Amino acid sequence: MGDFHLARLARLAHFAGLWRCLLMVFVGFVGFTSLDVALAMDTPLLLDKGWRFHQGDLPLSPAVGHEQTYLQMKAGYAGGPAGIDFDDSNWRTLDLPHDWAVEGPFDPSANMDQGYRPRGLAWYRRYLRVDAAQRGRHIELQFDGIASQAEIWFNGHLLHRSFSGYTANHLDLTPYLRFGDEINTIAVRVNAEAMEGWWYEGAGIYRHVWLSQTDALHLHTDGLHLTPMPTPTPLKNAPAKDRWRLPMAVSLANDGPAPASATLEVTLLDPTGRQVEQRRAELHVAAQSSLETALPIDVTAPQRWSVDHPQLYQVHLRLLRQGQVLEHRSWHTGFRTLKFDAQQGFFLNGLPLKIKGVCIHQDHAGVGVAVPQSIWAYRLKRLKAMGANAVRFAHNAPPPEALDLADQLGLMVMDENRHFGADPETLQQLRWLVRRDRHHPSVILWSLFNEEPLQGGETGYEIARRMTAAVKALDTTRPVTAAMNGGFFSDLNASHALDVIGLNYQHTDYDRLHAERPQTPLISTEDASAFMTRGVYAPSHDPDRIPADDEHAADWGLNHRASWTMLAERPFMAGGFAWTGFDYRGEPTPQSWPAVSSMFGIMDLAGFAKSAFYIRQAQWREDRPVLHIEPHWSWPGQAGQMIPVMVMSNAQRVVLRLNGQPIGTQHLDRPGVARFDVPYAPGLLEAVGYDHEHEVSRDAVETTGPGVSLALQADRPALAGDGQDAVPVTLWVRDAQGRAVPDAQTRVHIEVRGAGRSLGHGNGDPLSHEDEKGAHRSLFHGLAQVIVQSHFTTTPGEIEIEAQAEGLAPAVLKLPVKASRLGTDPAALLDHALPAAFAPEQDPPATRLTEWRTSPLTSRPPGPPQPLADQDMNTWGWGAPPMTRAASAQATWQQYRTRFTPRNDVADGRGVLAFAAIQGRAEVWLDGQWLGRKTDPAPQALTLPLPAGAVLRELRVVIQSDAGMAGGIIGAVQLLKAPTGPSVPP
Ligand code: GAL
């Protein structure tokens, strides 16, 4: 169990309850022996598997005639791919998270900032079976994020329009559910033409989808406010200080038709799992109403969360009724104090701490924005290893699992809202962000916006003031900031509505603003914007890429050394967020096509270090010696050429030697870069760092021979067999002595077999147009990365990755995959193991004919059945099976009519029309043609061949029953695939 698993547990804890707690709760307290039962009762289920996908738009409503148009305007009758019976049998099936933009080719005519990736529109559909035992419970469908705009239908009902790809959508399915064999249909139309940013945003359902299933009396999603607050209120028997209160403000709803009661229980556990406090209260909630209540928990002298010791407490909420757990939710949180001081900068837990942050977007090599949690763990750990203590998720809400990881790793977070506005939709997005994220100890700042042109005037102020108020109504424990790139010197501007002024690239104004606003804390929300390409150095003469020498920055920015120095030298600056931690697709400033990704990253798109990584490490890591030489020392044919050498170090003095001969010594007055010009000779270039007279650090680069073999190395030695765990695998070339050949650009064939799959690959080259999902990948300056993900497995397995290239010995890496314990392993709560009550439906369900018109009873047979006027909505009734009416002595005949367009799989003449039961004597007519009959009046099934034709069909059933007897369609009517048999021509 590595950190990754802690991260996974925390994520699952967030949604599903901690494993330890499940055991305690269900086995210990309630005495359940079957965890499966307990998990199935209240656990949110991951609904990522078994989606169908169609790239491109499809018309919603092909209706022409009156009746069809009329119906499609009705609740539950959406047409086309939004509807229930749409034929999606030839759509691609896939698992979420999914980003279709990263699968596509690059196109020079596509939007540059979106990485020259065409985006467009697409549809997703999924079927869902819901057990009848769920009737009366509250069922909610939750999308963590869909890029960019979306419309979501459930069983033909338009439930929601989503206006932002960064905001979750929580949809109550309860009123629309179908149970048992009647399958539910989810349909999502995604519009990724709509852009929200000037960076690569991906396309599709790129974050997880969950199904929450609770009692009708349930906690609102994000409905517990538990953020610990330092409190001045004296507590009984408490020492005079370090008192805290968790408000435990709970927001519940009872959707049911009757009043409901339950016991509410909140529990706080310390980082060792010891119970700190538990409180209970009885609740009574009227039918169809909500309740706000609170069970505050007071804590004295808790263990603190900090960047070095991120201590996390667990919070559990349970709803109980007669010993049964109705709902169980878990969160983690942490206790820490924050202070932004206008003179002295930032304090965490009362201690000064310079914020060493980076801005990041959310895409990664090979996967686009569909980044698995374990790859987030890899990315954030890379930042931590560099010495960063903070992250700004620019310029939008991050995926929830990234915040869980930040909590665990000890990374502080500037949590940013995407849109700037005081309109209801924007304010609701902001409120959602605060509600979702306020329990995270990592979050230290709420950010309202990034560089809004209105920021400098009255409108900017008026909007910002309303947004700040919306935040403060939900959380008063963090200051509100915004990333401003000007306008803060005017008489009235957005900064007047902020607690902390955030500055993007305003280094020339730090001192003036501090002088003019001496009471207001300042932070650099964005700085640097330095450019470099990994592995590119002056001697390689690559005009399309930018040398990694920290000499290149945007006109509005500074290089890494200078931008940090500006902050390090100013105690009043709380710190800053460098642009950016990683390269991201799009915004290929200062280049354009064929460059397709940015070059601002301290690391490349795969998380491989550029020299900036070591510059930042030298600047930021005070806890250990840092020393790193760049470039590599393999420059064939360049003997005698001057090679500029950089030694990144936090030592006081750096000494450089080539093949044992001294080259020079440099004193560093602050951590940074020592530079030497070295005439090239093959061999060993060595640097040694000294503090006073003591050697503290050492690094060397060596000339390598020609490549002889490929090599593969995984970031972690094994994967969990939960079908989610993913690991980056580095691919490189070795020389005869096993050393990495630094400039290899080899094209490699990659194959992934066994208990996992490749999710994609990349090499960090901002000009690469290679297919990120294909079987080949070229190394870029010696490196490439393949991301492999486990399959779900309940037995131990192995992923085998094989790399082959011409002229090199192949490499094979075998990665063990651990078994998942179905039903007892939190990871197995995922939809590989959906409880039977929510079994996923992979195949489109059979079409059920549920929309019928019913004629009045008549004394004479109507046959051949007369048409019903298309405009007549009223002389005939409406119904769905079971439908019966009793015949009178005068009127024994009745007629039923429906229309349908058969799906392809039953329209080829091999389909059948299956009536589960008809009561009375019946004749069946299709498109005015006689199809078959049933002569026995007793209830019986009737199955008739369905003639070929994928057009709109009209079906009529004429039923005659004896006076006083009931007649009608009393069971389901379905279009089924005939198992065998001849096709029936049209
Ligand atoms: C900033 C902006 C970022 C990015 C950056 C590039 O102005 O906030 O999103 O565009 O410039 O330097």
What confidence tens digit (pLDDT) does each residue in 870-881 have? 888 899 999 999
According to the model, what pLDDT value does residue 831 have? 46
Q: Which helix (H) or strand (E) holds 515?
A: helix 510-516
C-beta of 396 in contact with ligand 1 (< 6 A): no
Does residue 787 contact residue 375 with C-beta atoms inside 8 Å? yes
Label residue 29 by pLDDT band (50, 70, 90). Answer: very low
Lowest-pLDDT range, 6-20, 60-74, 187-201, 484-498?
A: 6-20
C-beta of 892 in contact with ligand 1 (< 6 A): no
To which residue do tokens 């392993």 refer?
825
Q: 557: which residues sit within 8 A by CB, 6+ positions away?
A: 505, 527, 528, 529, 530, 563, 579
C-beta of 506 in contact with ligand 1 (< 6 A): no
Q: How far is the CA of 416 from the centre of ligand 1 (A)?
A: 14
Query: How far apart (Å, rounded) are the C-alpha atoms in residues 591 and 601?
Result: 14
According to the model, what pLDDT value does residue 233 have? 59
Residue to substitute in 529, 582, 598 for testing ligand 1 pocket (most ligand atoms within 8 angstroms of CB):
529
Q: Comparing C-alpha atoms, which of 214, 208, 204 is closest to residue 173?
A: 214
Residue nearest atom 6 in ligand 1 by C-alpha distance: 529
526 is catalytic: yes
Atom from ligand 1 closest to the CA of residue 451: 8
934 forms bridges with which residues in the sheet? 922
The size of the chain, in residues, is 986
Q: What is the mean pLDDT of residues 252-266?
A: 97
Atom from ligand 1 closest to the CA of residue 598: 6
Tokens of 240: 């005079």
Greatest pairwise CA separation for the chain in angstroms: 117
Q: Of the listed 416, 452, 526, 686, which one is catalytic?
A: 526
Query: How far apart (Å, rounded) are the C-alpha atoms in residues 585 and 582?
Result: 10
Q: What is the CATH number of domain 229-333?
A: 2.60.40.10
Q: Strand, coil or helix: what is 70?
A: helix
Atom from ligand 1 closest to the CA of residue 485: 7
Residue type, 712: L
Q: How far is the CA of 438 from the centre of ligand 1 (A)?
A: 26
Q: Of the listed 265, 416, 451, 452, which one is catalytic?
A: 451
More confident residue, 646 or 10: 646
Which residues of the chain form CATH 2.60.40.10? 229-333, 642-702, 707-831
Spell out the CATH class of 2-220: mainly beta
How wide is the angle at C-alpha 198 spanned by C-alphas 193 and 201, nearest 5°?
A: 55
Burial of 237 (0-12, 13-18, 19+ CB in 10 A): exposed
pLDDT over 70 at 869, yes or no? yes
Tokens of 29: 């307290």
Lowest-pLDDT range, 41-55, 244-258, 319-333, 809-823?
A: 41-55
What confidence tens digit (pLDDT) does each residue in 310-325 have? 999 999 999 999 999 9
Q: Where are the alpha helices (DSSP H) in 355-417?
A: 373-386, 400-409
Atom from ligand 1 closest to the CA of residue 556: 12
Q: How far is the CA of 345 from the centre of ligand 1 (A)?
A: 24
Query: How far apart (Å, rounded) are the C-alpha atoms in residues 256 and 212?
Result: 16
Which residues of the chain form CATH 2.60.120.260? 2-220, 847-977
Q: What is the mean pLDDT of residues 178-205?
A: 95
Which residues of the chain form CATH 3.20.20.80? 354-623
According to the model, what pLDDT value does residue 893 have? 96
551 is catalytic: no
According to the model, what pLDDT value does residue 63 have? 78
C-beta of 529 in contact with ligand 1 (< 6 A): yes
More confident residue, 502 or 33: 502
C-beta of 196 in contact with ligand 1 (< 6 A): no
Q: What is the mean pLDDT of residues 757-775?
A: 98
pLDDT over 50 at 18, yes or no? no
Strands 883-886 and 966-969: antiparallel
According to the model, what pLDDT value does residue 904 have? 85
Tell me how many helices (H) and strands (E) the chain has: 11, 60
Label residue 11 by pLDDT band (50, 70, 90). Answer: very low
Q: Comparing C-alpha atoms, which of 247, 433, 241, 213 is closest to residue 328?
A: 213
pLDDT over 50 at 17, yes or no? no
To which residue do tokens 């209120």 refer?
233
Q: Which helix (H) or strand (E) holds 426?
A: helix 424-437
Query: How far apart (Å, rounded) are the C-alpha atoms in residues 361 and 402?
Result: 12
Query: How far apart (Å, rounded) are the C-alpha atoms in residues 195 and 372?
Result: 23
Query: How far apart (Å, rounded) are the C-alpha atoms in residues 868 and 549?
Result: 80
More confident residue, 210 or 13: 210
894 forms bridges with which residues in the sheet? 959
Q: What is the CATH number of domain 707-831?
A: 2.60.40.10
Query: How far apart (Å, rounded) are the C-alpha atoms in residues 764 and 363?
Result: 12
Query: How far apart (Å, rounded) are the C-alpha atoms in residues 29 and 316?
Result: 14
Query: How far apart (Å, rounded) are the C-alpha atoms in residues 177 and 155?
Result: 8
Yes or no: domain 847-977 corresponds to CATH 3.40.1110.10: no
Q: What is the mean pLDDT of residues 713-735?
A: 96
In percent, how much of the chain has pLDDT > 70?
Answer: 92
More confident residue, 304 or 19: 304
| DSSP string across 268-300 | EE-TTS-EEEEEEEEEEE-TTEEEEEE--EEEE
Label residue 27 by pLDDT band (50, 70, 90). Answer: very low
More confident residue, 45 or 979: 45
pLDDT over 80 at 41, yes or no? no
Residue nearest atom 11 in ligand 1 by C-alpha distance: 529
Q: What is the mean pLDDT of residues 711-729?
A: 95
Query: How far apart (Å, rounded) are the C-alpha atoms in residues 878 and 875?
Result: 10
What confidence tens digit (pLDDT) does each residue in 220-230 have? 999 999 999 99
Mean pLDDT of the chain: 91
C-beta of 579 in contact with ligand 1 (< 6 A): yes
Strands 355-360 and 573-579: parallel
Backbone angles phi, psi at 27, to 5 degrees: -90, -45
pLDDT over 90 at 7, yes or no? no
According to the model, what pLDDT value does residue 239 have? 52
Which pTM was predicted?
0.93
Q: How far is the CA of 562 from the centre of ligand 1 (A)?
A: 18
How is the beta sheet containing 338-341 ordered, strand by strand? 338-341, 345-348, 351-352
Quick one: fold of 354-623?
Answer: TIM Barrel (3.20.20)
Does residue 248 contact residue 227 with C-beta atoms inside 8 Å? no
C-beta of 851 in contact with ligand 1 (< 6 A): no
According to the model, what pLDDT value does residue 780 have? 98
Query: How far apart (Å, rounded) are the C-alpha atoms in residues 983 and 68?
Result: 29
Atom from ligand 1 closest to the CA of residue 394: 9
C-beta of 493 in contact with ligand 1 (< 6 A): no
According to the model, what pLDDT value does residue 840 have? 56
Which DSSP letter does residue 582 get?
A: B
128 forms bridges with which residues in the sheet? 184, 840
Atom from ligand 1 closest to the CA of residue 557: 12
Q: How far is the CA of 622 from the centre of ligand 1 (A)?
A: 29
Tokens of 11: 């994520």
Q: Residue 688's Cα: distance from chain center in Å?
A: 44
Quick one: fold of 642-702?
Answer: Immunoglobulin-like (2.60.40)
Tokens of 185: 């249909």
Query: How far apart (Å, rounded) are the C-alpha atoms in residues 325 and 78?
Result: 38
What confidence tens digit (pLDDT) does each residue in 345-386 have? 999 999 999 999 999 999 999 999 999 999 999 999 999 999
pLDDT over 80 at 6, yes or no? no
